[in-house]
Chain A
Amino acid sequence: MNNKMRTSFLAWPYALWVLICTIFPLFYILGYAITNDAGKLTFANLIVIADPVHLKSLWLSVQVAFITTVICLVMAYPVALILHNLKIRNKSFIVFLFILPMWMNFMLRILAWQNILSNNGILNNILSAVGLPTVHILYTKYAVILGMVYDFLPYMILPIYNALSKISDDVIEAASDLGANWWTTFTKVTLPLSKDGIISGIIMVFVPSLSSFVVSNLLGGGKVLLIGNVIEQEFTSARDWNTGSGLSIILMVFVLLSMGIMNKVDDSENGGMLL
């Protein structure tokens, strides 16, 4: 026990760091949100969310984030499952292949999707070559969703894969020994035991897709205005830091609310760590 006290001092610099670089900034943004540019207390910056333009973009953001998260989950779970069942030696290598794209500049990768999706782009060339109808989705919200699924898919795959690798093979074997078929084993054993990974994945995808503004700028062509775009414009072109902070606080509340809902679903007690 004595030992415990002795080495915990190693976390003190970090505690100070958290205070200055995590807690303080949040109070700062709150401070800006509830004052006007003369420094007087006001709730006007929070009420602007009721403005139809802002409400519309918030609603669109929630829709886009929700659809992105669902698509990512549906695409990622089989990937994680297949990876987990893969019987090869260099499994970590395959896992790293999902992180590797991040080493190519994020913005360039999204721009490359413009090339792929544009009206006479690569995808449509391929489609018309094999005689299929072409698609015209660039600069619509569908392109934005595709870009986000592309960008955030690894954040869904990795936590689910990690959760799956913690399940002991014995449990799966026991299930099949006791007569469960593949489907029953999956729904009664594998799926419930990987719940923590699913929840981490959902959070890691939902939050950034709710707040991103770059993907919607590049693939939405300025026509898809998400709440992140509104906040960015308040800080850059409108130079209204108070309104921008107010909207950021609203966004935070939304994130916290969805977190709360997720925690309701997640009744396990071993929470605390996201990754």
Chain B
Amino acid sequence: MTRLKKCTSRLYLGFIFLFLYAPILVLIVLSFNNSMSRTVWGGFTLQWYANLPTNDTIMTALGTTLRITLSSSILATILGTSAAIGIHRMKKRHAAIMLGATNIPLLNADIVTGISLMLLFTRFTSLGEFSVILAHIAFSVPYVIFNVLPRLQSMSDVCYEAALDLGATPVYAFYKVIWPEIVPGVLSGFLMALTMSLDDFTITYFTKGAGVNTLSTMLYTELRKGIQPELYALSTLLFLVAFAMLFIINYKGNDSKKEVTN
């Protein structure tokens, strides 16, 4: 009976993974397809990978995407981590107000967030790469806060206060006592901010202004012309990089866990 249960659950997991990864398999196959058409298999080729570095539209969009994603997720992590520490130390009522406001970008529809930010930006600055970065920070900060805050709440304040009593400066006490405890939360918050920013289309679409294109918005505007096959090659590479990173983080994470338990 348990064997059967184990089998069905493995089978079900397999089915879900197939569902989630089927389109990715299709895209990887297309990146080796020697045909401009998406529906015809024209034999194996590496030419899209070879053409990639010289394809200016794609490389420019990739550069924009990476700049926006990295800067917004780093800034969101800094802003969100300090916010989480501050909120943790606030009076209950104030903290509740801050958390309520933090929920807004998560609860709001992307399209509403995008449009409302666009209305604000067109009034006070201009739309461009900078406005997209601001918008991405706006929707990714909540992920950082909600990853860091539980870490703070689950540790006791006693150690930090003891450090202060023993003469540590607040900065030193923070670095030695609080930081090691929250660092996994900061890291997962950063990773989520990075992923959300990379995956976003809607908010970028509304806040980008003319001339600025991330990979997603470039794709969307060029949809009628047909997709450049180099894009399949690029996203296959990006996916492999992410997969490799995941592997490395996974093994590192295991090592640090061992240290803690020993």
Contact = CB atoms under 8 A, between A and B. Distances in A.
Contacts of B94: 8
B49 interface: no
Contacts of B220: 107, 214
A184 to B, nearest CB: 17
Contact of A12 (B16, B22, B86, B100): B86
Contacts of B16: 75, 79, 153
A274 B9 CA distance: 28
A101 B115 contact: no
A75 B16 CA distance: 8
B232 A108 contact: yes
B109 A214 contact: no
A96 interface: yes
A32 B115 CA distance: 11
Contacts of A29: 112, 115-116, 119
B243 A100 contact: yes
B13 A14 contact: no
B108 interface: yes
A207 B111 contact: no
A43 to B, nearest CB: 19
Interface residues of B, number: 89
A103 to B, nearest CB: 4
A6 B119 contact: no
A241 interface: yes
A17 B141 contact: yes
A106 B199 contact: yes
Contact of A241 (B90, B119, B157): B119
Closest A-B pairs by Cβ, 4 of them:
A11-B86, A211-B109, A14-B83, A25-B116
B128 to A, nearest CB: 16
A183 to B, nearest CB: 13
B170 A101 contact: no
A3 B89 contact: yes
A251 interface: yes
Contact of B141 (A14, A112, A228, A274): A14
Interface of B: 9, 12-13, 16-17, 19-24, 26-27, 30, 38-39, 79-80, 82-83, 85-87, 89-91, 94, 96, 98-113, 115-117, 119-120, 123, 134-135, 137-138, 141-143, 145-147, 149-150, 157, 160-161, 164, 170, 195, 198-199, 201-202, 206, 215-216, 219-220, 227, 231-232, 235, 238-239, 242-243, 246, 250, 253-254
A101 B21 contact: yes
A179 interface: no
A25 B117 contact: yes
Contacts of B120: 20-21, 24-25, 28
A32 B9 contact: no
Contact of A116 (B22, B85, B119): B22
Given A18-B98, A112-B26, A251 B109 contact: yes
B239 A214 contact: no
B39 A115 contact: yes
9 contacts: A8-B87, A17-B141, A22-B104, A23-B101, A29-B112, A116-B26, A248-B115, A273-B99, A273-B103
Nearest to A9: B86
Contact of A208 (B110, B161, B239): B110
A59 interface: no
Given A75-B16, A118-B39, A228 B111 contact: yes
A237 interface: no
A242 to B, nearest CB: 11
A57 B256 CA distance: 52
B119 A22 contact: no
Contacts of B17: 97
Given A11-B83, A105-B216, A252 B109 contact: yes
Contacts of B108: 207, 252, 255
A4 interface: yes
Interface string A201-226: 00110011011111000000000000
Nearest to B246: A96
Contacts of A107: 201, 216, 219-220
A122 interface: yes
A90 interface: yes
A82 B9 contact: yes
Given A104-B238, A228-B111, A14 B246 contact: no
B111 A213 contact: yes
A44 interface: no
B85 A14 contact: no
Interface in A229-250: 231-232, 235, 241, 244-245, 248
A99 B195 contact: yes
B199 A108 contact: no
Nearest to A93: B250
B19 A6 contact: no
Contacts of A83: 13
B115 A245 contact: yes
